[in-house]
Structure 1
């Protein structure tokens, strides 16, 4: 357990002090993002929503959400869909639903270009999808005409297609800021909100921040500025989330790495069949608390014990591999070993917080934030 430094003069921090300081941070999520979008409206008749959870599905046969029969559609046109009912911090639970999206991605840049398939091309390359689109049209219209390009894709705003296959942050809970990281970048959102960032290297850091105690203070800022509506997140508000990056590269690397640890642990916890969930949860709570300390110090104090940072840097190691999506149980053992090495380090219990830092932690905890 870390101890406070009795030699440092105490400074009292109220919740108002913290909120005021956060509200004055000039850099926002909008400043570091390319675009924030709400996703596909699920009421669109020409986007085909299907359920992949049924056991009788084949590679090309899907059970429609609105029908009791299977429908054959080319697999290349099926893209994942997610809403806030699948909320889980630091992780993505694959959705059982998918949309049929008749387009293709051009190029491989962060801001990807796309091209919508025209009706004649759809008829030739994807006859099953073409047939289904015609069925939908005839179901809702009686004009008897063939498909046109508007029928193939009818969205109010198609700009999000640039970002379907781009990694993004996912806000999955409308009542509390909570971010999950979509590594594949192919989820489309209706009720949730996706945030696409220009620099892929900061995805894990932002994920950690949006799951930290700092994010739980932010709704107070919305309320005071009277920009919150019905407790829901929406792009205009979310763009104003204050973003601060650590001055020390070591601290930012630590937060990024811990965020990747937590993605891995949450996925493992969700899919665990043999190993007890409590063991996963204890590891999750340990790494979340360390990330929270580092983020809180970055935003508010900048006075964590340097020895504490040194101990963390010696043990919490990064990897170029995409380990957060691995199913390798040896990673779990490794994360347990890292926790043990940190706690058993003889210098760990000698690390100290200043009174200022301790008061901030106490204030957040007493206000139900910590």
Structure 2
């Protein structure tokens, strides 16, 4: 069967389960136009400790760089530094004059009042004061916490809660924030009901299947100026493999890709060959497994057996290790798969090539 764009979109549109159905919440991050944005630059040109740039987007006022108490600072990413599988390397931090309370999935929080802020966090207080004085109001003091309250505080309830952060720059990019400590803007946070699904869902959101989503949005009149919002992402169709081994393989490959993308980020300053080829190899396997789950359901059982024999998890949270031996191990796994005698006997339906080509041909969409 030849799969056209319409065939693929129709098949995906009919999947009844959506990302919203398996999520506790899907939400926007910190408003990018918040009155007071505090970002700490961690690039090499600045002190790594905590030099902070404060800017009021409405008045375009730049404030002198100073150190801000680390208790109020959180890793920060925006759409320009979106990651794929792995959270991008930290370049900025974001100041939150709030106390995050409790250890539940959905946290409580309280804004720190001016007098307490002045006593416990004087540097942060002074920066907020200076920004306020330079604002259009020209007030000389912080008479209430409303002077620096975020326009939308709802994302604060998921600080320190594991989540997937999804951005859209030409296509979806999903990264797994395992500690949940990142503040993000120009993106969507996804908190799942079942924490064991984070790797599988991250892989699906990064797969070729996601390329069909804009067409579904258009057909259902959900597109919003090409800017991703929570309502659009909630519509993402979710299908699970009929065989548990397939879901395990996809989840494990996601962990491989988290490790490889993390190592690729840290290797920018020096050359280590093979990262991108290895990333592409495991992405292609994940794509095959996900396409089979969503559309074809006729992958050669021999292929699954070969993958199951070789693709295994080497330890708890190995993907966050910096051990270079893991890279060598992933290269060896690739070699073992390709050189397996049974692999040469595997039959791949021509539908896979057709579907991938249709999904990846931007001109078709």
Same fold by TM-score greater than 0.5: yes
Check conservation: 1:52, 1:63, Cα contact below 8 A.
Answer: no
Q: In 1, Cα distance between the equivalents of 2:26 and 2:130?
A: 34
User: Which deviates more, 127-136 or 268-277?
Assistant: 268-277
SS of structure 1 residue aligned to 2:170 = coil
Please report how far the alpha carbon of residue 364 of structure 1 lies from its aligned counterpart in structure 2 after TM superposition.
Answer: 4.0
1:44 equivalent among 6, 9, 34: 34
Is residue 23 from structure 1 mapped to residue 13 from structure 2 by the alignment? yes
Q: In 1, Cα distance between the equivalents of 2:213 and 2:118?
A: 50
Mark the CA change 1:118 to 1:69 in structure 2 (over 3 Å): closer, same or farther. Answer: closer
CA distances 1:255-305 after superposition (whole Å, capped 9, x unpaired): 01101111111122222244434x111111110010001000111122211
Check conservation: 2:89, 2:265, Cα contact below 8 A.
Answer: no
Please report how far the alpha carbon of residue 355 of structure 1 lies from its aligned counterpart in structure 2 after TM superposition.
Answer: 5.5
Is residue 148 from structure 1 mapped to residue 144 from structure 2 by the alignment? yes
CA distances 1:124-167 after superposition (whole Å, capped 9, x unpaired): 2212212222222222234445431212x422321211112222
Mark the CA change 1:29 to 1:301 in structure 2 (over 3 Å): closer, same or farther. Answer: same
User: Which deviates more, 141-150 or 177-186?
Assistant: 141-150
Q: How does 1:101-140 map to 2 (within 5 A)?
A: 101-140=96-135
CA distances 1:187-236 after superposition (whole Å, capped 9, x unpaired): 22222222222222211111111111111112121222232133221111
SS of structure 2 residue aligned to 1:173 = strand
Q: How does 1:253-332 map to 2 (within 5 A)?
A: 253-272=248-267, 273-277=269-273, 279-332=274-327
Q: Which residue of 1 aligns with 2:246?
A: 251
Q: In 2, Cα distance between the equivalents of 1:270 and 1:169?
A: 19
Q: Which residue of 2 aligns with 1:34?
A: 24
Which TM-score applies when normalising by structure 2?
A: 0.89
Mark the CA change 1:30 to 1:138 in structure 2 (over 3 Å): closer, same or farther. Answer: same
Check conservation: 1:193, 1:234, Cα contact below 8 A.
Answer: yes
Is residue 196 from structure 1 mapped to residue 191 from structure 2 by the alignment? yes
| Uncovered stretches (5+) of structure 2, i.e. residues with no partner | 56-60
Check conservation: 1:45, 1:136, Cα contact below 8 A.
Answer: no
Please report how far the alpha carbon of residue 70 of structure 1 lies from its aligned counterpart in structure 2 after TM superposition.
Answer: 2.4
Which TM-score applies when normalising by structure 1?
A: 0.88
CA distances 1:303-355 after superposition (whole Å, capped 9, x unpaired): 21112111111110024421222211100000001001111111111112346
Q: In 2, Cα distance between the equivalents of 1:363 and 1:172?
A: 23
User: Which deviates more, 33-42 or 20-29?
Assistant: 33-42
Check conservation: 2:129, 2:141, Cα contact below 8 A.
Answer: no
Please report how far the alpha carbon of residue 254 of structure 1 lies from its aligned counterpart in structure 2 after TM superposition.
Answer: 0.6
Q: In 2, Cα distance between the equivalents of 1:361 and 1:85?
A: 27
SS of structure 2 residue aligned to 1:252 = helix
**Aligned positions, number:** 358
Please report how far the alpha carbon of residue 242 of structure 1 lies from its aligned counterpart in structure 2 after TM superposition.
Answer: 0.4
Q: Which residue of 1 aligns with 2:222?
A: 227
Say which structure, 1 or 2, has more relative contact order (CA 8 Å, 6+ apart).
1
Q: In 1, Cα distance between the equivalents of 2:44 and 2:54?
A: 10
SS of structure 2 residue aligned to 1:80 = strand
Please report how far the alpha carbon of residue 358 of structure 1 lies from its aligned counterpart in structure 2 after TM superposition.
Answer: 5.6
The CA RMSD measured in Å over matched residues stands at 2.4
User: Which deviates more, 251-260 or 191-200?
Assistant: 191-200
Q: In 1, Cα distance between the equivalents of 2:34 and 2:353?
A: 52
Please report how far the alpha carbon of residue 93 of structure 1 lies from its aligned counterpart in structure 2 after TM superposition.
Answer: 1.9
Check conservation: 1:168, 1:182, Cα contact below 8 A.
Answer: yes
Q: In 1, Cα distance between the equivalents of 2:289 and 2:317?
A: 23
2:235 equivalent among 235, 240, 258: 240
